[in-house]
Copies of this chain bind each other. A is one copy, B any other.
């Protein structure tokens, strides 16, 4: 069996999901998937002095839940990989001080979940390691104050904006056979359609999702029909409509497609504007809701295309448009 990439994609043979831990915030708990998550926090401070420390505590909880399920300790893991939205990938790096094993930080904005899962899967598929843990998190209050304004300011939001999900997800990937496996992946290119409205990330990211989807289908000779469900990361309402239009214009038959940003909340009743975003968004939906459905064989195969707007506020102030990326992982129920 060849290990060589086909275009931007690779079929994976020996990588399984062994365990996971999901922690969500208050709004995510009240949403339609609220009952799916292992734990929820009641307030954004979570007993800590700062939102940043609360985010880290959530991520530690997610990691501990993930490992305890399999009676594993921090030292039993070969490598930790993590990603979050903070400058310097602060949440995962400051948590990694507590981990006695090597750590790699990757950054892909909200695509961090798929990026860290894909990288971990590649290391296991190669045979380098047996157990790799991925960790991703986002927190509405930490992201808002870094990228826009502190939530406490009560700044008026544009209708096109998305709502950064609060949550943390840890996933243990392993070479040991389990009911669900990582079956294929596609690494994304950085795509910039000259969108420069930082209050409309969904539409900025749609072309990156389109590019990765088309490459995935072409590289592996597949279509939407090869999946029981295809979800994009967090294009949310406007963005996922744009993606659908782009696909239809290219004569792609779009079936059973949804967006994690639209699934995490009840958009008709919850005040999240166009829907959810943030590393935790696609991670919570995938590991909290979709992974159990694969385990229970309610679905056979899904494709998760996590999107990220790689914008730098510094570059936005220098009048630059927003680079975006999307990475895809295919998860499959093992026969």
Given A5-B128, A87-B88, A126-B125: A102 touches B189 (CB 8 Å cut-off): yes
Chain B residues within an 8 Å CB radius of A323: 93-94, 96-97
Partner of A315, one of B4, B8, B94: B94
Chain B residues within an 8 Å CB radius of A50: 318
Query: Contact flags (1/0) for A83-99 with B, using CB distance below 8 Å?
Result: 00011111001101101
A314 to B85, CA, bound (A): 13
How many copies of this chain does the complex contain? 2
Closest chain B residue to A320 by CB distance?
A: B94
Chain B residues within an 8 Å CB radius of A10: 128
Query: Contact flags (1/0) for A185-219 with B, using CB distance below 8 Å?
Result: 00111111000000000000000000000000000
Interface residue tally on A, bucketed by range: 35 or more
Given A49-B318, A103-B190: A3 touches B127 (CB 8 Å cut-off): yes
Query: Contact flags (1/0) for A307-332 with B, using CB distance below 8 Å?
Result: 00011111100101001010000000
Contact, CB under 8 Å: A3 / B126: yes
Contact, CB under 8 Å: B190 / A96: yes
A residues at B contact (CB < 8 Å): 2-5, 8, 10, 49-50, 52-53, 78-79, 86-90, 93-94, 96-97, 99-109, 115, 119, 122-123, 125-129, 146, 187-192, 310-315, 318, 320, 323, 325
